[in-house]
Amino acid sequence: MYNIVIVEDELIESEALRRIICQCVENAVVHEAATGKKAIQLIDNLERIDMIFVDINIPLPNGNQVIQYLKKKNTDTKVIVTTANDDFDIVRNMLSLKVDDYLLKPVKQSILTDTIKKTLDFNEADIVASKALKQQIGGMIERCDYAQWHSFLFTTLDEAYASPQCSVERYKNVTEVLELLNQHVAAQGEKLAPTSKKISVLIQDIAQSSLNGNAYFRIMTNLLAISEEVFDQALKNFNGSMDFIDRAKFHIEKNILNNLTLDDIATKSFVSSCYLSRAFKKITGTGFSNYIANRKIGIAKSLLQFSDLKVNTIALELSYQDANYFCRIFKKETGLAPSDFRCRVCAPRS
């Protein structure tokens, strides 16, 4: 996943750059700024910029000033200067700013493509993996497979928290998933524009928190809220067949932190409570109550391992009003009391 910024005040040039970049870098998120002021706002707001294209002659602050500002904030960003002026003084000034390349407009597509690949040092294996991940995310949403999505999402978050790597590497996979999710959301248009903003804010929160223990529950609940908005829209757009068992599972995931009752889920599944109870066990091999307990305990295990919440608080957050009952359910599912589970699985966290 690459964040690429285009700083260009000519609409035709900007559109041409965007088109070529999107053709060359399939997993790119392209941001555009028509003025130096807008460019600086993007530099401030984006957690990471992999590459920036800067036209020197943009309205003030000019291109030079934008690059100088960027260099003070992030020296790792690759900078490509574009200009219509073939002037030695400009070239010399660009060298002093330590830009990565200098292109004369109009830029030929072949030259721009080669420059992007050379500057970003493309790893074909990473590109293939990112493409597969994007298809996986889109597939789960389009199928309205809410349960699989939650399992995938929590596994990604938990693996990041369990990683012994440095902070940047720890949250890289989580932010890549969120950035790919944001691409899917952006394609839905204005109806999910507020969701897209929430995803961007969460990406920044994850980077700033460096995935410490007191941030886990906040990140998790934000992920749940974003998922609810995405899957509510996916359900509206769903063209396939969804039987009452799938519909029941959908609404269980949507309300996973709430107090779930057979009557409520049966109503949302358009069947009677008795019929849902019998059919659920017959079709899934698991009783309705046991299924819900298993899904909730999965979340509880993550909270015990990676968050700083106390056992009683975790019980309440999962809508178990009686902490003792929660402990009995947890022990039945895992063979351990919650406190014993936490002692066994928790390693020192940075």
Write down the mean pLDDT value for the chain: 88
User: Per-residue pLDDT tens for 31-67?
Assistant: 999 999 999 999 988 878 889 999 888 877 888 889 8
Q: What confidence score (pLDDT) does residue 204 get?
A: 83
Q: What confidence score (pLDDT) does residue 350 get?
A: 42
Q: How far does Cα 90 stand from its chain's mean position?
A: 39
- Give the mean model confidence (pLDDT) for residues 214-241: 94
Please report, as a single letter, which amino acid is at residue 104.
L
Parts of the chain belonging to CATH 3.40.50.2300: 2-122
More confident residue, 213 or 167: 213
Q: Is the pLDDT of residue 348 over 60?
A: no
Burial label for 240, CB within 10 Å (0-12, 13-18, 19+), is: exposed
- In a 13 Å sphere around the CA of 242, the CA atoms on its Cβ side amount to 20
Q: What confidence score (pLDDT) does residue 72 get?
A: 84
Residues above pLDDT 90, as percent of the chain? 50
Confidence of residue 183 (pLDDT cuts 50, 70, 90): confident
User: Per-residue pLDDT tens for 244-259?
Assistant: 999 999 999 999 999 9
Residues above pLDDT 70, as percent of the chain? 93
Cα–Cα dist 204/262, whole Å: 38
CATH class in words for 2-122 = alpha beta
User: Per-residue pLDDT tens for 63-76?
Assistant: 888 988 888 877 78
Q: Is the pLDDT of residue 3 over 60?
A: yes
User: Per-residue pLDDT tens for 296-314?
Assistant: 999 999 999 999 999 999 9
Residue with tokens 């050379």: 118
Query: Please, which residues have CB within 8 angstroms of residue 329's CB and are 6 or more apart in sequence?
Result: 293, 297, 320
- Give the mean model confidence (pLDDT) for residues 343-348: 75
Q: What is the dihedral of CA 297, 300, 301, 303, to 10 degrees?
A: 170
Burial label for 138, CB within 10 Å (0-12, 13-18, 19+), is: middle
Instruction: Kindly indicate whether the domain formed by 130-345 is annotated with CATH number 1.10.10.60.
Output: yes
- Give the mean model confidence (pLDDT) for residues 177-206: 90
- Give the mean model confidence (pLDDT) for residues 198-210: 86
Please report, as a single letter, which amino acid is at residue 111.
I
Parts of the chain belonging to CATH 1.10.10.60: 130-345
Q: What confidence score (pLDDT) does residue 122 get?
A: 65
Confidence of residue 95 (pLDDT cuts 50, 70, 90): low
- Give the mean model confidence (pLDDT) for residues 126-142: 88
Q: Describe the strand order of the beta sheet including 28-33 as a list of residue ranges.
A: 28-33, 2-7, 51-55, 78-83, 101-104
